[in-house]
Each structure stands twice: as C-alpha cells, then as structure tokens.
Amino acid sequence: MQWDSWLDNRHPASNNSVRQFNLGYVFEEYAKSYGRLGKAQLALDYIDRAEKYRTPTKSSEILMKVARAEILVREGDVRNAVPLAAEAAIYSREHGHNRRLEVFMLSSNIYISRLLNMVKQNGS
C-alpha cells in the first residue's frame, strides 16, 4: 500500500515519539470506533494495521487481542473472540492489569445486554 510505505519512511521506529505514542494506538482507536459503528471488516482491517505499527511488546500484543475480541463480540463471532479474550485475561491477571479486564468485560456485557433486550422486545 502506498499509504503504509509513506508512513514507514516518515515515521521510523527509531524515532522516540513513535516509540512512546505510535500509529498502532491511533489505528487501534479507529478499529474500535468502526467496530462500534457496525463496520466489522473495516475495524478488523484497522486492527491489522495497528498490529503492524504497534510497539513490539507483549502488553501491546494483548491490547490488540482485546480490541480484536471486542470487535468479534460485536460482530456476533463469540466463538473466535473467546480464545483471544481468555489469553488477554490470563496475561492481564498475571501482570496486575485488572483495569484492562474490567473495561473489556464492561463493554462486552453492555453490548450483550442490549442484544438480549432487543431479542426480548422482538419476541413479545
């Protein structure tokens, strides 16, 4: 992609600002936003981009898995979301990142509750 090659040349990984705040986080937020808008494929494409630009740490890898799991849950693909969420949960618990787990669980519970309410309303 022409855009990606331009970004690679413009923002080398050795740049200190890129290491502290990089395009991976921006693309992750785009992905979450598109996921909330119901544009799952576009959201997953942005997660793929985010993974390319993220800082190569286990913590950022887990953040991407959580974001991908959230998108999959919203898409209704719980079967593929569960392994990602489980891995993220285990890692987060082991390293004391409870807030990450809380946010994921809260957003997933809110979404599933809304779905259940819609089913109840349509069923009555």
**Residue-range domain boundaries for the chain:** 2-123
CA dist 108 and 120 (Å) reads 18
- Predicted confidence (pLDDT) at residue 11 exceeds the cutoff of 80: no
Q: What percent of the chain has pLDDT over 70?
A: 79
Contact by Cβ (8 Å): 32, 43: yes
Comparing 20 with 71, the larger pLDDT belongs to: 71
The 10s digit of each residue's pLDDT in 46-60 is 999 999 988 788 888
Global pTM reads: 0.70
Two structure tokens written together for 122: 């349509």
